[in-house]
Amino acid sequence: MSNITANTSRRNFLKTGASLTGGLIIGFMVPAKAGRLGKLLAEPAGAATFAPNAFLQIGSDNSIKILLAHAEMGQGIWTTLAMLLGEELDADWKNITVEHAPPAKEYFHTAWGAQMTGGSSTTWSEFDRYRKAGATARLLLVQAAANKWKVQPAVCRTENGFVINGNKKLSYGELAESAGKLTAPADIPLRSKEQWKYIGKGMKRLDAPVKVNGKAVFGIDVKVEGMKIAVVAHAPAMGSKVKSFDATAAKKIAGVVDVVQIPTGVAVIADNTWAAIQGKKALMIQWDLSTAVTLNSAEQVDAFKKLAEKDGKEVAKGGDVALAMPKAVKSIDADYTVPYLAHASMEPLNCTVKITGDKCDIWTGTQMPGGDQAAAAKILGFKPEQVSVTTTFLGGAFGRRATMDSDFVSEAVHIAKASGKTIKMTWTREDDTQGGYYRPSFLHRIKAGIDDKGMPLFWKHVIAGQALPGDDGNGSAEGISDSPYVKVIPNFHISQHAPVLGITTLWLRSVGHTHTAFAMESMIDELAHLAGKDPVEYRRILLKDHARNLGVLNLAAAKAGWGKPLPAGHFQGVAVHESFRSYCAQVAEISIGADGLVKVHKFTSAIDCGLAVNPDGVRAQIESCVNYALSAALYGAITFKDGKVEQSNFHDYRVLRLNESPAEIETHIVESTEQMGGVGEPGFPPVAPALANAIFAATGKRIRQLPLGELNLKG
């Protein structure tokens, strides 16, 4: 497998991974005591540790440590991956602990050739590998017990951390040392579905206790002896640079110990966060704005509309749209627009760096520890193995902690290098909101027409918006060019414009599907109305040959009571969308208040993700998607004036309040034997269109621009 490169897009990762189910990679069977990996996973002094592979350690005290090749950022894989390994190990759940693995090839993604977390891929990509890791250990423990008892392994069985033979039993801890001396067989059989006791059952999260009692260590909690706090004054507009600065006033602030310039701005280093922030405010900086971005959001939509007057780069084509247009009985021409979005994860970006001689230690919450290790090594002139990266818990990420250029980690390393100090660099909320990486703004211009039976006859679709890093040219059209709707339309043409605007863009939770689903499902609803058909029934006709799309649509509609009487003043809207190998339908139930504002009462969700390893985790992720997507649909908007971001914190970049969350979010999981998909992202895309379609049902007004904000829907 090739390593990740600067030109590799997230979309290409997903395209590669979509054809794979996950398998063993080089280094899987390397014993933990051997070579480099052994140093990383060294056993405690005086303890016997059985480490048959890179993912598992069993101590003589019966402790079971599972190493995660992916990062826990709230999505629940701390538990799900432990379930996979623990299932095959036949472990006692109460003895299991989990840690993030260090950067190493042994932990490369089974499909993408890099150590990273993203694309809602963790569970399906590790389903075989983590089960195999547990099964390997179980076979060796059984063999060790059989050797002690001088019997055949076939007469032994395992149960909850013990190997049993008749009335004799030995714990895994008692067998750890002897099992560590054995060689694993080439053939590692896995348990059948009928034998599962964890997989497919709801399991309480292993990380919940420490996150509730405050013992969990996030990046922002890291403390290292002698550590100083650093904050950075970033450029006011993207593309600008420091011309000169005067730190005299900043250095007079009590607690400020140093001020250094780095490639991304000027860093103030202090004994504490308050002093660092006050020192930052006291800096006198002259910025070179000659190369700064001058984007104005007020003008951007008009510019996109002008672009959309002509076809862009062709993405997909079928039939002849020009010939079909005059034959349509009715048609619609609509523009759907969405703004830039910030990731707005609850924990602001941070990174702690300690450089000692020819060694660098980094502590941070990251989705790409290997990439961060390589970036730090390059800055310092070190070899990668001279840089250690400890991945802490991530207080949210949504893609922001997976940048190709390791931006915030690189920034922290530059500060430590320039100052010669051990530092914890912390971004303020304002830094993150105004100087971060954004989901791009987009315009979708769709012209579609129906025949005399109400079915789509043609579909012409032009997209305008910035491309994501390394995009191969089709990322902005995911969920459109491969849409099941498009596949049944005889004449279609899809093209895109990708203007270079200088704004740093990045994948945000659900990536292109965040905007393509809104455009697609909104227009399908408009066509249903144009054809005089029920929105669910219309979709059933179009999706009749797409069983998984149809399955979630029918399940969500049935559970939501679609077509049945609703409480007075309540209305429903529906949307269904495939993303990240999973299929999700959402039914929104809303009302319009006396103030003209929308009130979301309920979301009924159905998901087909193949096997649901941890149903409780699936439900939690869908609930998370609904609330996160509602934040974007109702309030999310990053706007620019003269290249400067106008929002700064949660007061003007609003996220959903508790009282605005739906009173009910029902999640229904399809029992499926189809290929596994992800769940961290597929619940997001159908939310906004379901909400917009419900508003149409309530008011007759079509919502074609997000966010809704304080839009008055009365009358």
At 48 the pLDDT is: 64
| Domain definitions of the chain by residue range | 10-213, 219-290+349-426, 298-340+438-699
pLDDT confidence band for 47 (50 / 70 / 90): low
Amino acid at 336: Y
Assign 701 to helix, strand or coil: coil
Is the CB of residue 211 less than 8 Å from the CB of residue 407?
A: no
Locate tokens 């260090």: which residue? Answer: 102
pLDDT digits (tens, 9 = 90+) for 547-581: 999 999 999 999 999 999 999 999 999 999 999 99
Q: What is the mean pLDDT of the chain?
A: 93
Amino acid at 106: E
pLDDT confidence band for 715 (50 / 70 / 90): low
At 23 the pLDDT is: 28
pLDDT digits (tens, 9 = 90+) for 313-338: 999 999 999 999 999 999 999 999 99
Rg (CA), the chain: 27
Is the CB of residue 266 less than 8 Å from the CB of residue 449?
A: no
Smallest CA-to-CA distance from 603 within 666, 659, 695 is with 666
- For the domain 298-340+438-699, what is the CATH code? 3.30.365.10
Report phi then psi at 38, rounded to 5.
-60, -35
Assign 703 to helix, strand or coil: coil
At 49 the pLDDT is: 78
CA distance 565 to 193: 41
- Top pLDDT among 1 and 520 is at 520
Is the CB of residue 550 less than 8 Å from the CB of residue 560?
A: no
| Pair type for strands 359-364 and 387-391 | parallel
Strand (E) or helix (H) holding 64: strand 64-68
333-347 burial, b at 16+ Cβ within 10 Å, e below that, comes to: eebbbbbbbbbbbeb
Q: What is the dihedral of CA 681, 682, 683, 686, to 10 degrees?
A: 120
- Looking at CATH, the fold of the domain delimited by 10-213 is given as Aldehyde Oxidoreductase; domain 4 (3.30.365)
At 1 the pLDDT is: 30
Strands of 330-338's sheet in order across: 313-318, 491-497, 456-465, 442-450, 330-338
Fold match, 10-213 / 298-340+438-699 = yes
Strand (E) or helix (H) holding 696: helix 687-699
Is the CB of residue 462 less than 8 Å from the CB of residue 427?
A: no
User: What does the block give as tokens for 11?
Assistant: 């979309």
pLDDT digits (tens, 9 = 90+) for 94-129: 999 999 999 999 999 999 999 999 999 999 999 999
259-283 burial, b at 16+ Cβ within 10 Å, e below that, comes to: bbbbebbbbbbbeebebbbbbbebb
CA distance 352 to 219: 8
Handedness of CA 124, 129, 130, 131 (dihedral sign): positive
CA distance 513 to 480: 9
Angle, helix 547-560 to helix 535-542, in steps of 10 degrees: 160
Is the CB of residue 37 less than 8 Å from the CB of residue 106?
A: yes
pLDDT for 21 beyond 90 = no
pLDDT digits (tens, 9 = 90+) for 611-640: 999 999 999 999 999 999 999 999 999 999
At 497 the pLDDT is: 96
pLDDT for 428 beyond 60 = yes
Assign 290 to helix, strand or coil: coil
- The CA-based angle 426-431-432, given to 5 degrees, is 90
Smallest CA-to-CA distance from 258 within 434, 417, 435 is with 417
CATH architecture of 219-290+349-426: 2-Layer Sandwich (3.30)
Is the CB of residue 484 less than 8 Å from the CB of residue 578?
A: yes
Helices (H), 254-406: 273-282, 297-307, 321-324, 369-380
CA distance 233 to 415: 12
At 710 the pLDDT is: 79
Which residues lie across from 587 on neighbouring strands? 574, 604
User: What does the block give as tokens for 15?
Assistant: 């395209």
pLDDT for 44 beyond 60 = no
pLDDT digits (tens, 9 = 90+) for 680-689: 999 999 999 9
pLDDT confidence band for 40 (50 / 70 / 90): very low
